[in-house]
Amino acid sequence: MIVCIAEKPSVARDIADVLGAREKKDGYIEGNGYQVTWTFGHLCTLKEPHEYSPSWKAWSLSSLPMIPPRFGIKLIDNPTYEKQFRVIERLMQQADLIINCGDAGQEGELIQRWVMQKAGASCPVKRLWISSLTEEAIREGFAKLRDAADFQSLYEAGLSRAIGDWLLGMNATRLYTLKYGQRRQVLSIGRVQTPTLALIVNRQLEIQNFVPKQSWELRTVYRDTTFTAVVRKSDEDLAAEEEKRKATGGQPAADRPNPGIDPITDREKGEALLERIRPLPFTVTDIQKKQGKEAPPRLFDLTSLQVECNRKFGYSADDTLKTIQSLYEKKVTTYPRVDTTFLSDDIYPKCPGILQGLREYERWTAPLLGKSLPKSKKVFDNSKVTDHHAIIPTGQPATNLTDMERRVFDLVARRFVAAFYPDCKYASTAVMGQAGDILFKATGRQIMEPGWRVLFAQAADESEEKGGETEAERALPAFVRGESGPHEPSLNEKWTQPPKPYTEATLLRAMETAGKLVENDELRDALKENGIGRPSTRAAIIETLFKRNYIRKERKSLIATATGVELIGLIREELLKSAELTGLWEKKLREIERRTYDAARFLEELKQMVTEIVHTVLSDNTNRRVTVEAVSAARKPAPDAVAAPKKPVRKRAPRKAAQTAAPQQSPSSPPVPAADELVGKPCPLCGKGVIIKGRTAYGCSEWRNGCQYRKLF
**CATH number of the domain that 554 lies in?**
1.10.460.10
How many angstroms separate the CA atoms of 50 and 36, rounded? Answer: 36
Strand 2-6 and strand 97-101: pairing? parallel
Sorting pLDDT into bands at 50, 70 and 90, what band is 707?
low
Write the CATH number for 475. 2.70.20.10
Sorting pLDDT into bands at 50, 70 and 90, what band is 166?
very high
Residue 527 lies in a domain: yes
Same domain, 307 and 330: yes
pLDDT of residue 660: 35
Sorting pLDDT into bands at 50, 70 and 90, what band is 698?
confident
Q: Which amino acid type is present at position 20?
A: G
Sorting pLDDT into bands at 50, 70 and 90, what band is 458?
low
User: What are the angstrom distances between the C-alpha of 616 and each of 148, 207, 554, 573, 610?
Assistant: 43, 30, 36, 8, 10
From 109, 103, 107, 102, select the one nearest 151 (Cα to Cα): 109
pLDDT of residue 438: 95
From 541, 538, 540, select the one nearest 528 (Cα to Cα): 538
Strand 97-101 and strand 214-222: pairing? unpaired
Mean pLDDT over 584-600 rounds to: 90
- For the segment 238-255, what is each residue's pLDDT rounded down to a tens digit? 777 777 666 555 555 556
3-state secondary structure of 264: strand
Sorting pLDDT into bands at 50, 70 and 90, what band is 634?
very low
Same domain, 12 and 136: yes
- Which residues, in sequence order, are CB contacts of 106 under 8 Å at separation 6+? 154, 157, 158, 161, 534, 593
The whole-model pTM stands at 0.79
3-state secondary structure of 345: helix
The sheet carrying 697-700 orders its strands as: 691-693, 697-700, 710-712
Q: Are 56 and 66 in contact (CB under 8 A)?
A: yes
Same domain, 40 and 129: yes
Please say which residue of 440, 461, 495 terminates a domain: 495
Q: Are 291 and 440 in contact (CB under 8 A)?
A: no
Q: Which amino acid type is present at position 375?
A: K
How many angstroms separate the CA atoms of 270 and 101, rounded? Answer: 71
- For the segment 500-537, what is each residue's pLDDT rounded down to a tens digit? 999 999 999 988 887 665 555 555 555 566 678 888 88
Burial, 644: exposed, middle or buried (Cβ in 10 Å; 0-12, 13-18, 19+)?
Answer: middle
Same domain, 289 and 429: yes
3-state secondary structure of 138: helix
Of residues 347 and 237, more confidence is placed in 347
Say whether pLDDT at 711 is over 80.
no
Strand 97-101 and strand 125-127: pairing? parallel
- Which residues, in sequence order, are CB contacts of 189 under 8 Å at separation 6+? 168, 169, 172, 173, 175, 176, 571, 576, 666
Say whether pLDDT at 622 is over 90.
no
Residue 588 lies in a domain: yes
Of residues 333 and 696, more confidence is placed in 333
Same domain, 378 and 428: no
Query: Considering 335, 550, 597, 698, which one is annotated as catalytic?
Result: 335
Burial, 103: exposed, middle or buried (Cβ in 10 Å; 0-12, 13-18, 19+)?
Answer: buried
Please say which residue of 387, 418, 449 terminates a domain: 418
- For the segment 560-587, what is each residue's pLDDT rounded down to a tens digit? 999 999 999 999 888 888 887 787 888 8
From 188, 316, 337, select the one nearest 664 (Cα to Cα): 188
Same domain, 566 and 597: yes
Find how far residue 373's CA is from the centre of its chain: 32
Residue 150 lies in a domain: no
- For the segment 132-150, what is each residue's pLDDT rounded down to a tens digit? 899 999 999 999 999 999 9
Range of the domain at 242: 214-295+424-495
Say whether pLDDT at 226 is over 50.
yes
- Whether 34 sits among the annotated catalytic residues: the reply is no
- For the segment 297-344, what is each residue's pLDDT rounded down to a tens digit? 999 999 999 999 999 999 999 999 999 999 999 999 999 999 899 999
pLDDT of residue 573: 86
* CB neighbourhood size of 240 (10 A): 13
The answer to whether the Cα torsion of 171, 39, 11, 380 is positive or negative is positive
Write the CATH number for 112. 3.40.50.140
Residue 129 lies in a domain: yes
How many angstroms separate the CA atoms of 603 and 607, rounded? Answer: 6
Q: How far apart are the first and last CA of the chain?
A: 55
Q: Are 508 and 197 in contact (CB under 8 A)?
A: no
* CB neighbourhood size of 340 (10 A): 22
Residue 572 lies in a domain: yes
Same domain, 370 and 254: no
Mean pLDDT over 166-178 rounds to: 94
Say whether pLDDT at 276 is over 60.
yes
3-state secondary structure of 127: strand
Q: Which of 210-224, 496-510, 551-565, 692-706 has the lowest mean pLDDT?
A: 692-706
Same domain, 164 and 109: no
How many angstroms separate the CA atoms of 133 and 333, rounded? Answer: 9
Burial 552-578 (b: 16+ CB within 10 A, else e): bbeeebbbbbebbbbbbebbeeebbbb
pLDDT of residue 667: 35
Mean pLDDT over 547-564 rounds to: 93
Same domain, 531 and 561: yes
pLDDT of residue 624: 81
Residue 357 lies in a domain: yes
Mean pLDDT over 4-9 rounds to: 94
Mean pLDDT over 417-439 rounds to: 95
User: What are the angstrom distances between the C-alpha of 262 and each of 230, 232, 233, 377, 697?
Assistant: 9, 6, 8, 45, 70
Same domain, 429 and 286: yes
SS3 letters across 650-709? CCCCCCCCCCCCCCCCCCCCCCCCCHHHHCCCECCCCCCCEEEECCCEEEECCHHHCCCC
- For the segment 181-199, what is each residue's pLDDT rounded down to a tens digit? 887 889 999 988 999 999 9
Say whether pLDDT at 659 is over 50.
no
The answer to whether the Cα torsion of 162, 166, 168, 173 is positive or negative is positive
How many angstroms separate the CA atoms of 56 and 548, rounded? Answer: 24
Using alpha carbons only, how large is the chain's radius of gyration in Å?
Answer: 30
Most trustworthy range by pLDDT among 228-232, 580-584, 625-629, 674-678: 228-232
Same domain, 139 and 164: no
Residue 369 lies in a domain: yes
pLDDT of residue 688: 63
Report how many domains make up the chain: 5
Percentage of residues in the chain with pLDDT exceeding 70? 84
Strand 34-38 and strand 2-6: pairing? parallel
Average pLDDT score, the chain: 86
How many angstroms separate the CA atoms of 185 and 671, rounded? Answer: 7
Same domain, 439 and 484: yes
Please say which residue of 418, 438, 459 terminates a domain: 418
Residue 623 lies in a domain: no
Say whether pLDDT at 656 is over 90.
no
Please give the helix or strand (H or E) that residue 31 lies within, else none: strand 28-31
- For the segment 10-19, what is each residue's pLDDT rounded down to a tens digit? 999 999 999 9
3-state secondary structure of 147: strand
How many angstroms separate the CA atoms of 680 and 548, rounded? Answer: 11
Sorting pLDDT into bands at 50, 70 and 90, what band is 104?
confident
- For the segment 399-411, what is each residue's pLDDT rounded down to a tens digit? 999 999 999 999 9
The sheet carrying 225-229 orders its strands as: 484-485, 282-294, 424-435, 438-449, 225-229, 214-222, 488-495
pLDDT of residue 506: 93
